[in-house]
């Protein structure tokens, strides 16, 4: 059983959007704002770390970050810290650099991070944008870039970013400036498992091209 209802949101998004969590080449996933751990449980299952039928060892590296403690999940490396702090990117990078993940890059970055509501709409949007900027900054440096096939290597698609945000004109600007130009596709998703009336949504950004210069 899952630790949060959010787990069902992630399962629904994965199912409706090409099962991006289920591909064989995935070997490194970062889960930001992961407590209590529902999304990490889903990812750990997909990578074979949680399987009640056979006791097996999963593949790849999963790194989960939250301000709050996350109780252990098989295959998941947890970091209790503020992702907006200056040490966070280095700590996650370090955890990604494991023998199971030779490139040290992330194939998938998930962010369900949300600050507590202040009740002040402007403040809430600002905090959500701070989170989006900081996740994008991390993705820019750590998301695996698409690569053409060359001798002895297969063509690789660019990494995926799933990013929670609040609907607002400023969020749209963020998307147009940072996401649209740098990914092959960006889709807005409002999962049915999320409370109706809430302004929260997700962007599913697929095929990271690397930062495009203007």
Note the residues at the interface with ligand SAM (CB under 6 A). 3-4, 6-7, 33-39, 65-68, 82-84, 112-115
For residues 43 and 61, which CB has a smaller minimum distance to ligand SAM in the complex? Answer: 43
Among the options 154, 155, 164, 177, which is catalytic? 164
**CB-count burial class (<10 Å; 0-12, 13-18, 19+) for 21:** buried
**Rounded distance between C-alpha atoms, residue 44 and residue 172, angstroms:** 32
**Nearest distance from residue 159's CB to ligand SAM, in Å?**
19
What would the 3-class secondary structure string for the chain be?
CCCCCHHHHHHHHHHHCCCCCCCCCCCEEEEECCCCCHHHHHHHHHCCCCCCCCCCCCCCEEEEEECCCCCCCCCEEEEECCCCCCCHHHHHHHHHCCCCCCCCCECEEEECCCCCCCCCHHHHHHHHHHHHHHHHHHHHHHECCCECCCCCCCCECCCEEEEEEECCHHHHHHHHHHHCCCEEEEEEECCCCCCCCCCEEEEEEEEECCCCCC
**Rounded distance between C-alpha atoms, residue 208 and residue 70, angstroms:** 29
For residues 103 and 137, which CB has a smaller minimum distance to ligand SAM in the complex? Answer: 137
**Nearest distance from residue 189's CB to ligand SAM, in Å?**
14
For residues 4 and 97, which CB has a smaller minimum distance to ligand SAM in the complex? Answer: 4
Active-site residue flag, 15: no
Catalytic residues: 164
């Amino acid at each position: 059983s899952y630790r949060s209802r959010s787990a069902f949101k992630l399962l629904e998004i994965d199912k409706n959007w090409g099962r991006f969590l289920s591909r064989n080449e995935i070997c490194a996933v970062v889960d930001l704002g992961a407590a209590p751990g529902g999304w990490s449980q889903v990812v750990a299952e997909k990578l074979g770390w949680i399987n009640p039928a056979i006791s097996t060892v999963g593949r790849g590296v999963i790194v989960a970050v939250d301000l709050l403690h996350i109780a252990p999940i098989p295959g998941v490396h947890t970091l209790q810290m503020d992702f907006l702090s200056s040490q966070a990117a280095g700590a996650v990078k370090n955890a990604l650099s494991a023998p199971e993940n030779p490139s040290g890059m992330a194939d998938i970055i998930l962010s369900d991070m949300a600050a507590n509501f202040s009740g002040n709409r402007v403040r809430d949007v600002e905090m959500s944008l701070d989170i989006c900027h900081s996740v994008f900054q991390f993705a820019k440096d750590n998301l695996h870039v698409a690569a053409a096939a060359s001798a002895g290597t297969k063509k690789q698609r660019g990494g995926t970013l799933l990013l929670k945000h609040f609907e607002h004109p400023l969020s749209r600007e963020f998307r147009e400036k940072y996401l649209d130009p740098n990914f092959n596709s960006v889709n807005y998703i409002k999962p049915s498992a999320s409370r109706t009336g809430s302004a929260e949504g997700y962007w599913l950004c697929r095929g990271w091209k690397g930062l495009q210069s203007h």
